[in-house]
Amino acid sequence: MGRQAVILCGGFGTRLSHVVSDVPKPMAPVKNIPFLEYIVKQLQGQGFDDFVFLTGYKSEIIENYFKNLKNAKFIKEETALGTGGAILNAFASLNGDFYVINGDTFFDIDFSLLEDFGNGKSCTVALRYSNDVERYGFVDIDDNFHVTDFIEKGKLPQNRIDGFINGGIYYITKSCLNSFVKSFNGQFISLETEIFPQFIKDDELFGLPVGGCFIDIGIPDDYYKAQTLIPDWIAKEAKPALFIDKDGTLIENTEYPHGKDFKIIESTVEIVKQHFDKNYYVVMVTNQAGIAKDKFSFEQMYEGFEGIKDFYKSKRVEFDDIEFCPYHKDGIIKEYSYDSILRKPNSGMILKACEKLKIDLKNSLMVGDNTEIDNIKLPYLKCEILTEKERSFV
């Protein structure tokens, strides 16, 4: 049996109405193809073969377009029911477990990651990294990936610079909705603000950080951006990545190394070259607290990056991306004296790279030298810590 997608596509698209006014928002054209078709094709490519479209405004446009889609159902809400109400209204058509997907959001994730983690759990939310939590709000999770709180937009704590946001994809076990459907009388109910808070109280809501191209076409600027972003992304090849630490792994870990005065670690060269030759992306991920602590400048940091890249070019290896975290809560440069989920062992840098490169996270590898820092907080990412004996210098 394949996977079931329950697609929320009943909104009015008010903020987009002066740009696209004659179709429901999910049917807004992207390079002359309805946005919703990109989502359906993405899902079909990952084994989805059962589709439930929860429609509302101009539902006949969606129904006519997808009328020949195998195993498709269309359930229209006659009055606005909210995200939770629309799902409860379709309860009889839901499988034992299913995915809820926003019809106006493209988030190209590996659904098997969510499924492997969420198996046996009531509900798992796909989370993504964002440094724009003022726009979206953010989701707090603990070390076991339990969701502890949804922080509304505009209420960012002063000591935070970024966060995980709701990616608009949920993996749900149908039975966890039983109590809600029993009391549901066709009234408006929000999944995010009414059902999820109860799940949190019952310790039944989880959040899994995942990476991939993300765009919400709810505002005109992002809709215009989608015209090139989505077609370009679809054309890319998904490949695993070697995520590699810098200080202590690529180069000798002197105190706050920067600039071109560094020593390459010879054994790591072989690791990087082997993965590059196997067609892995190569991505450097490095904590750079020296910026926040005023130990070196951005110019000196970039000079070091270029020196490492030049050395590896001489070995016929190219870095596909470099991600760094300049933040540290004990910094003396005010602009960078924050907690950040970019900082390892948090997963921010990994997820940022996944929005630039089409990365197969399930088969990727993180290599570092520090057990506390380089074991990234992602349950699906393999991490390998090099011992001192495994490292030598040239």
User: pLDDT tens for residues 221-249?
Assistant: 888 999 999 999 999 989 999 999 999 99
User: What would the two tokens of residue 41 be?
Assistant: 């094709």
Catalytic residue among 97, 247, 321, 369: 247
User: pLDDT tens for residues 77-92?
Assistant: 888 899 999 999 999 9
Helix axes 220-234, 35-44, angle to 10 degrees: 40
User: pLDDT tens for residues 39-76?
Assistant: 999 999 999 999 999 998 889 999 999 999 999 999 99
Give yes or no: residues 141 and 107 share one domain: yes
Residues 6+ apart with CB under 8 A from 330: 292, 293, 337
Domain CATH number, residue 134? 3.90.550.10
pTM: 0.93
Tell me which residue range forms the domain holding 76. Answer: 3-234
Give yes or no: residues 226 and 339 share one domain: no
User: How far apart are alpha carbons 126 and 108 in whole angstroms?
Assistant: 11
User: What would the two tokens of residue 114 be?
Assistant: 């969510």
- Total domains in the chain come to 2
Give yes or no: residues 78 and 207 share one domain: yes
User: How far apart are alpha carbons 160 and 246 in whole angstroms?
Assistant: 25
User: How far apart are alpha carbons 86 and 57 in whole angstroms?
Assistant: 13
Is 247 a known active-site residue?
yes
User: How far apart are alpha carbons 315 and 354 in whole angstroms?
Assistant: 25
HEC string for 333-351: CHHHCCECCCCCCCCHHHH
Give yes or no: residues 333 and 373 share one domain: yes
User: pLDDT tens for residues 356-393?
Assistant: 999 999 999 999 999 999 999 999 999 999 987 666 54
Give yes or no: residues 186 and 299 share one domain: no
Is 245 a known active-site residue?
yes
Domain CATH number, residue 273? 3.40.50.1000
Give yes or no: residues 260 and 186 share one domain: no
Catalytic residue among 104, 108, 162, 245: 245
User: How far apart are alpha carbons 92 and 113 in whole angstroms?
Assistant: 27
